[in-house]
């Protein structure tokens, strides 16, 4: 069956926003669309030091033509708009790139491994723009927030330290292999019941590799799952500034959160040294943010290659989607581990959950604003 652009985009875009539905945050969106265009070249500098991208952001913001989904992705957009002295408003963007295509959105939100591929490529569901588009990267703009991480509850980690370390060790081995062999990883995920086409799966794997192996400053990362202190702190600082919680108790708790309240590096460190004993719990499960796709390729590779069995674990990979929220599923014990964004975990803990990040898979933000050159 051939899917329309919109149908395919709805499937694959929801991966990036499903978990935000369970977060305790609220977002704002506004602005009527009006047509505009820009002929500036991305990244070029003017005599006064302002960039063409900065001019593009200001122009689009003033015209109300910055798009975002508004379900947890908007915090980086708010930080970007604030950087350029603009009001924190955006057009509510649909789960496809039709608004970008028809010109109603000048700067459209896109994940590098998802919507950007649809915009650029000509495979099924693609918009075929090729190199006729440019991007504004949250990492380059200094407003990046970290995304996919591995987490469990603090109680589970305390009761099952060897299980946690073994799971991290096998998972990061899976991520290392997947990044070194993205084409094979894409095939493994596709055969596991992919939610997207094989062509888009391969594109996703190549782009996810970049997010795992490059930090927010553009430096090479060789330690898969490492928690970069500066990037983590920046994510927490931006979350405190831009996440708005209706409950006053949760809002107060958000303001007081520190990195020690949301993560522990010790489990990852021991896992990397293979410093753990026989797992306390051998049958475990991990809740994904969405259906099988290369966004989660490390876990599928670890399962397919037998890395989990090598450390004494039987792992059930649970697909996300629909009303499933990974923070809630982990917090209530339905599953043992989950994949979420750092901002989602921050919101969840501020709202009363007791979750713990144990590995940071993505080392940089995958969010960009895409525009027509």
Question: What are the strands of the beta sheet with 133-137, ordered from one edge?
Answer: 108-111, 367-372, 133-137
pLDDT of residue 72: 83
Taking a C-beta distance cutoff of 8 angstroms, is the pair 74, 42 a contact? no
Average pLDDT, the chain: 88
Tokens in use for 211? 């997010």
Global pTM? Answer: 0.88
pLDDT of residue 322: 67
Two structure tokens written together for 315:
């792992």
Which residues share a beta bridge with 138? Answer: none
Q: Which residues of the chain have a pLDDT value below 50?
A: 1-50
The runs of H, that is alpha helices, within the chain are: 5-13, 52-62, 74-83, 98-101, 115-120, 154-159, 161-180, 182-191, 198-213, 229-242, 248-256, 266-272, 297-304, 307-310, 326-331, 342-350
Q: What is the dihedral of CA 70, 339, 176, 218, to 10 degrees?
A: 30
Encoding tokens for residue 8? 């395919």
For the chain, helix (H) and strand (E) counts, in that order, are 16, 10
Q: Is 52 left (phi over 0), alpha (psi -120 to 50) or beta?
A: alpha
Give the C-alpha separation, 93 to 105, whole Å: 8
- Of residues 93, 80, 296, 113, the one with CA closest to residue 189: 296
Structure tokens at 83: 């950087």
What CA–CA distance (Å, rounded) separates 282 from 308? Answer: 10
Q: How many CB atoms lie within 10 A of CB 158?
A: 10
Q: Is the Cβ–Cβ distance between 62 and 56 less than 8 Å?
A: no
């Amino acid at each position: 069956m051939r899917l329309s652009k919109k149908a395919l985009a709805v499937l694959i875009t929801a991966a990036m926003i499903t978990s935000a539905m369970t977060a305790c945050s609220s977002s704002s969106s506004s602005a009527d669309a009006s047509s505009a265009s820009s002929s500036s070249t991305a990244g070029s500098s003017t005599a006064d030091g302002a960039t063409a991208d900065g001019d593009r952001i200001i122009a689009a913001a003033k015209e109300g033509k910055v798009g975002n989904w508004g379900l947890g992705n908007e915090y980086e957009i708010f930080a970007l708009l604030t950087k350029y002295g603009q009001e924190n408003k955006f057009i509510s963007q649909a789960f496809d790139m039709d608004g970008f295509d028809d010109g109603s959105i000048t700067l459209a939100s896109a994940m590098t491994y998802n919507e950007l591929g649809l915009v650029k490529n000509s495979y099924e569901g693609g918009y075929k723009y090729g190199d006729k588009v440019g991007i504004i990267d949250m990492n380059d703009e200094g407003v990046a927030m970290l995304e996919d991480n591995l987490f469990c509850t603090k109680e589970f980690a305390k009761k099952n330290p060897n299980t946690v370390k073994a799971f991290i060790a096998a998972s990061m081995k899976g991520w290392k292999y997947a990044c070194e062999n993205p084409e094979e990883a894409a095939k493994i995920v596709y055969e596991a019941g992919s939610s997207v086409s094989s062509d888009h799966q391969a594109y996703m794997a190549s782009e996810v590799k970049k997010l795992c192996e490059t930090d927010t400053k553009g430096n090479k990362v060789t330690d898969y799952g490492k928690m970069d202190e500066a990037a983590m702190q920046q994510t927490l600082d931006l979350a405190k500034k831009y996440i708005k919680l209706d409950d006053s108790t949760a809002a107060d708790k958000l303001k007081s959160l520190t990195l020690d309240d949301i993560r522990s590096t010790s489990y990852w460190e021991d896992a990397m040294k293979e410093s753990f004993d026989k797992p306390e719990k051998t049958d475990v499960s991990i809740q994904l943010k969405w259906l099988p796709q290369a966004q989660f390729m490390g876990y599928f590779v670890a399962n397919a290659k037998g890395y989990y069995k090598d450390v004494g674990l039987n792992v059930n990979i649970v697909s996300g989607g629909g009303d499933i929220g990974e923070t809630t599923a982990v917090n209530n014990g339905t599953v043992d581990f989950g994949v979420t964004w750092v901002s989602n975990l921050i919101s969840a803990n501020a709202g009363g959950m007791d979750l713990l990040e144990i590995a940071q898979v993505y080392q940089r933000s995958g969010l960009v604003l895409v525009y027509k050159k």
